[in-house]
Structure 1
Amino acid sequence: MKLMRISLILLPLLIISRISAATDLPAIKVAVLATGTVNWELQHIKNRGLDHQNGFNLVIEKKASLSATRLAFMSNSSDMMVSDWLWVADQNNLGNEFKFIPYSKQIGAIVHANTSQIKSITDLTGKTIGVAGGPMNKGWLLTQAAAAKKGIQLTEQAEVQFGAPPLMSQALKRGQVDILITFWHYAEKLKLQGYVELYSLSDAMKELGLKSEIPLLGYVVNNQFVIGNNNVVQGFQRAIRQAKDDLKTNEQYWGALRQSMRFHNEAEFTALKSGYIDGDPGKINQGQLDTVVNFYYAVDRYRTNPTGSSLDPGLFLELSE
């Protein structure tokens, strides 16, 4: 009984000491979409204490929309956000100094009903194309570029509808669009329901002569934050590398993430897990950086506001060995 009393006294002190240790560490606040797949990686870092092991305290700030994450980051309320390097390049062209830490090379896919007669990009003339997100969707830009190489101007020769990913999935199911360009995790769920992948967007890249798979999504951080907190940022990079390795090699870690993954059955769970693992960008090599520059050039003219400029691959921030 005496031992139990001592334990009950010491337990709150232990909890307080752990909280104190966490608050003593420098924080990295990351603004993310509440439904984004990046939450799996960040939550695993918290579950395993990889942030504390690497000298920082990760604060996950979940937002309802992409615009909300950008507002938090641009106002310096958050230290990092998740976006694509096209957006980072645009911001740097406007005078910002943002860096990009690769998160995933998953892009997305083009899917259609299994009864569709669409067999290639050349069949999209006269069709209604659904695009998850807006005109800056990377898959839409790639598809336009691939079609143009075959002499097809999709903005003139097809009808295009934009919308939130869940709404566009429903539009495909209702037959309101003939084909859907969507994000990889939505495409995986549709394929499990019998829909057919016309192209992975990696295939579209190959048609454009882009040889290396490249990470399009990543963590965005202001270079001034990197300069002032270099050790902390490197600790963050080590933590995300460890998280990817954990989730690639140890099945048990996925059990703690299941509730946040929004799947309907085990097949979806398996597909989402495999998609995350396959998206691991690894260490970026020169061939990939060359592809990044060529990709930017290939899609720039199809953007709402083409820049006409080249991309500086120096925006990619690599972990110092």
Structure 2
Amino acid sequence: MRRDDRENWRRVSRRRFIRLTGATLSLAPFIPLHASAAAKARIGVLKFGTVSWELDTITHHGFDRENGVELDITYFAGEDATNVAMLAGDLDIIVTDWLWVSRQRAAGEDITLIPYSSAVGAIMVKEASPIRAVTDLTGRKIGVAGGPIDKSWLLLQAFCQRDHGIDLAAQNDIVFGAPPLISEKAMQGELDAVLNFWHFCARLEARGFRRLIGTNDAAMALGAKGPVSALGYVFHEDWARANPQAIEGFARASAQAKKLLATSDAEWLRLAPIVKAEGTELEKLRDRYREGIPTRPVAEEEADAAKLYLVLAQVGGQRLVGQSPEMAPGTFWEGMPK
């Protein structure tokens, strides 16, 4: 190619490049921003926890992308591991209770929460059991999941002591253990009654057990005006302020998933392999999950949680709540999307 021809080719190529670039830029306003501007949120949850049901619903139906957020989900074997990862800055969102959040805030952390679920445990007995009321619990062998400072156990103790004069811990043979073990011992008839987490209670219901008293019943007897979320989606306020699209988009995606799970039986059939249940057991889990979907204003939940905190602080002491005699302000997030 001659020198003049090479120069002409360069000029033509340059003009074509400019026209192509201009055309591409002219199309830019018509490209949806959310297609490439999704905010990221790193969330850590228990591998076999109930939160995974909601997260699967979110990701399966694309509620996260629809609300401009991309979820990076990490599964953990235990709750303590998620808490440590959150405090270390390795996660943006975890699921835990408001007692832990309050304690961290009292220690100077800017952690807060969005209500996730008010589903809580209950004292369960076999359908044929002679135990018909809490007053029949005296002198029994009771299995308790979660340990001696589990808040459900403490609330039930406080209720029974105040309203019935029963000291559950002192007047019974108490056996603490992991939730699956407690349920197994109950089914084998080795325990007269058990206090377990809500989903284990639902599975027991499907196996011929009945609820004697629920933790929410005790909480309302102790001053709460309605169900209080036992767990919440927990995050740092600084992160939420720096990433409003991420936290608000996640909150909206969570609400969409809850609405679907509250109304669609077909969605529960899709989730059955993850839930590891079918038939009556799946239906019990579905119904108890639905009962736990938060519907109250956050301010009301926060006010009731503050009341229950005072009861728990009195029963559980510093081992449970630390040095703070009252629930720390800001434990419930005030920036919840409307």
**TM-score category (smaller protein):** 0.7 to 0.9
1:179 aligned to which of 182, 190, 193: 193
Q: 1:274-321: per-residue Cα shift (whole Å, max 9, x none)?
A: 222221102425443321111111122222345451113522125233
Question: Secondary structure of the equivalent of 2:191?
Answer: coil
Identity of aligned residues (%): 35
1:251 aligned to which of 258, 261, 265: 265
- The one-letter code of the counterpart of 1:238 is R
1:36 aligned to which of 7, 29, 49: 49
Quote the Cα distance in structure 2 between the aligned partners of 1:171 and 1:70: 30
2:84 aligned to which of 71, 74, 77: 71
Contact persistence 2:39–2:243 (CA under 8 A)? no
2:30 paired residue number? none
2:332 paired residue number? 316
Contact persistence 1:40–1:257 (CA under 8 A)? yes
Contact persistence 2:160–2:166 (CA under 8 A)? yes
Question: Secondary structure of the equivalent of 1:257?
Answer: helix
Contact persistence 1:292–1:313 (CA under 8 A)? no
Deviation of 1:190 after TM superposition, in Å, equals 0.7
Contact persistence 1:104–1:216 (CA under 8 A)? yes
| Alignment partner of 1:89 is 2:102 | yes
Distance 1:215 1:163, change over 3 A: same
- The one-letter code of the counterpart of 1:81 is I
Quote the Cα distance in structure 2 between the aligned partners of 1:59 and 1:283: 29
1:98 aligned to which of 95, 111, 122: 111
Deviation of 1:40 after TM superposition, in Å, equals 1.0
Scaled by the length of structure 1, what TM-score is found? 0.87
- The one-letter code of the counterpart of 2:325 is S
Quote the Cα distance in structure 1 between the aligned partners of 2:232 and 2:152: 16
Deviation of 1:22 after TM superposition, in Å, equals 8.0
Distance 1:113 1:250, change over 3 A: closer
Q: Which runs of 5+ in 2 are unaligned?
A: 1-33
Contact persistence 2:39–2:68 (CA under 8 A)? yes
1:134 aligned to which of 137, 144, 147: 147
Quote the Cα distance in structure 2 between the aligned partners of 1:22 and 1:133: 44
Q: How many residues align?
A: 300
Deviation of 1:261 after TM superposition, in Å, equals 0.4
Question: Secondary structure of the equivalent of 2:132?
Answer: coil
- The one-letter code of the counterpart of 1:158 is N
Contact persistence 2:252–2:337 (CA under 8 A)? no
- The one-letter code of the counterpart of 2:264 is N
Q: Which moved more, 1:305-314 or 1:42-51?
A: 305-314
Distance 1:167 1:61, change over 3 A: same
Which of 1 and 2 has greater Rg?
2
Q: Which runs of 5+ in 1 are unaligned?
A: 1-20
- The one-letter code of the counterpart of 2:88 is S
Distance 1:217 1:172, change over 3 A: same
Deviation of 1:120 after TM superposition, in Å, equals 2.5
Quote the Cα distance in structure 1 between the aligned partners of 2:63 and 2:186: 41
Question: Secondary structure of the equivalent of 2:297?
Answer: coil
Deviation of 1:127 after TM superposition, in Å, equals 2.1
Deviation of 1:242 after TM superposition, in Å, equals 1.1
Q: 1:1-53: per-residue Cα shift (whole Å, max 9, x none)?
A: xxxxxxxxxxxxxxxxxxxx888633211111111111111111111111111
